[in-house]
Amino acid sequence: MAKDYDVLIIGGGTAGIMTAAQLHRKDQQLRIGLIEPSAKHHYQPAYTLVAAGTFDMKDTVRNEGDYVPKGVDWIKEHASSFEPEKDTVRTSEGQSYTYGHLVVCPGIKLDIDAMPGLREALASDFVCSNYIDPEKTLRVLKAFKGGNAVFTQPSTPIKCGGAPQKAAYMSDEFLRKSGARDKTNLVFATPGSVIFGVKEFAPALMDVIHKKGIILKTFYNPVRIDPVKKEAHFKWSKPGDNACVLTEDKGLKEKVEGEGTIVMPYDMLHLAPPQSAPDFIKQSPLAYQEGPSKGWLEVDINTLQHKRYANIFGLGDAAALPTAKTGAAIRKQVPVVVANILQRIKDGMLSTEQYSGYSSCPLVTGYGKMLLAEFKYDNVRDSDPLLRRLFDTTKPLWSMWILKKYGLPWLYWNKMLRGTM
């Protein structure tokens, strides 16, 4: 029986649109379906700049329909379940679609309710998140007059792992301009052991931390927010260490409660919410059923082919890949998926294309300064050879700021989503 589509794509974000565009460019005879309910497409990498008052939020949003390639069927529904043995996807609207190959890239869920008190805290005037509403972050910064400004992130995987520290760096700059910085304890609290996992970039970022006078708290895993008392609760997360130590209090008025719980009062709190794969992925047979990657798409980290269903591929934020979840990573993942699907359609084999784990994090460290950290699996530096010859990419640079503010948005809308990059 003929399938509804040669290739069916779940998700119309960066990964879905890029995959559809590249497949359509390479073979216009393919019957491609794209399941995506949203009418708008968002350029989220600019949210850090929006929150710092240097980018307009309206410039981060465009119509989804302007980027779905002509010749690709846009199915404006919500994917809800999979029957991989029957090559079938079902939607919440009661429809079902069959496929020859399936590409799963629905993005990531902001799992706000996974942290007690966070939803209530976000309703207050003192707690914000660039992941949810960067314009609110800007309003909170404008109203902030001093005290503890706490920036933190969860222990779950998150999209753009460098974004929480970028928020801290840009807020430092904003508060210096507003005159509130000298009355502020600016804290960056991370569950990790270091500021950045790629050793070539960590020294420059530590230099930024020291020059800005940011209080760095490592092994701080946020577990609960008390919006009434305006307190953030952290679990001491240092492996094999039950001793909870308060280092460099500097007037923060931290206290220890119970076993390994640190309570830090805040006057402003910026938090990246816990994140997970979407529920319909977690509850599906396509996800890991156990282990540290439970709930995330079970794909081979180099071919991006599903480990149990050969005609299914996964990429983007929902995939269980040990690298940073960024648009830059997707840009390198899409050609691998496209090449493998076209090769399988041709002769049932995989192509020779492999994904190396490449990702990058444009670490904005201040107005006019950005460090472009490029790396691959195992936190190995993977900087572009040409950029590396022209610039010292281990340092924050004005030229990289121009790339971040002007170059990358243009490339995203005009090249990446058009399937030409």
Which CATH number is associated with domain 5-108+277-358? 3.50.50.60
**Domain boundaries, given as residue ranges, for the chain:** 5-108+277-358, 112-274
Average pLDDT, the chain: 96
- DSSP result, 269-329: EEEPPPEES-HHHHTSTTB--SSTTTTSB-B-TTT-BBSS-TTEEE-GGGB--SS-BSHHH
What are the pLDDT digits (tens) for 160-169? 999 999 999 9
Q: Which amino acid is at 38?
A: S
* Positive/negative CA dihedral, 329, 377, 375, 361: positive
265 in Cβ contact with 149 (< 8 Å): no
Residue 239: what pLDDT? Answer: 75
Residue 2: what pLDDT? Answer: 73
What are the pLDDT digits (tens) for 373-420? 999 999 999 998 888 888 899 999 999 999 999 999 999 999 999 999
How does strand 88-91 pair with strand 79-83? antiparallel
Q: Which long-range contacts does 246-249 make (Cβ < 8 Å, 24+ apart)?
A: 247/217, 248/215
What are the pLDDT digits (tens) for 204-246? 999 999 999 999 999 999 999 999 999 999 999 877 655 555 6
- Provide the annotated active-site residues: 160, 361
Are 5-108+277-358 and 112-274 in the same CATH fold? yes
Token reading at 362: 């444009």
Separation between Cα atoms, residue 232 and residue 239, nearest integer Å: 21
Separation between Cα atoms, residue 297 and residue 321, nearest integer Å: 9
Class of domain 112-274: alpha beta
Separation between Cα atoms, residue 14 and residue 349, nearest integer Å: 26
User: Which residues, listed in sequence order, are joined to residue 42 by a DSSP beta bridge?
Assistant: 61
User: Which residues, listed in sequence order, are joined to residue 33 by a DSSP beta bridge?
Assistant: 8, 73
Residue 122: what pLDDT? Answer: 98
Torsion of CA 161, 163, 166, 172, to 10 degrees: -120
Q: Which residues contact 320 (CB under 8 A, 6 or more apart)?
A: 288, 293, 296, 297, 298, 299
What are the pLDDT digits (tens) for 304-320? 999 999 999 999 999 99
Q: Which residues contact 300 (CB under 8 A, 6 or more apart)?
A: 306, 307
Residue 176: what pLDDT? Answer: 98
Token reading at 289: 């059923």
> Which contiguous run of DSSP H or E holds residue 232?
strand 231-236
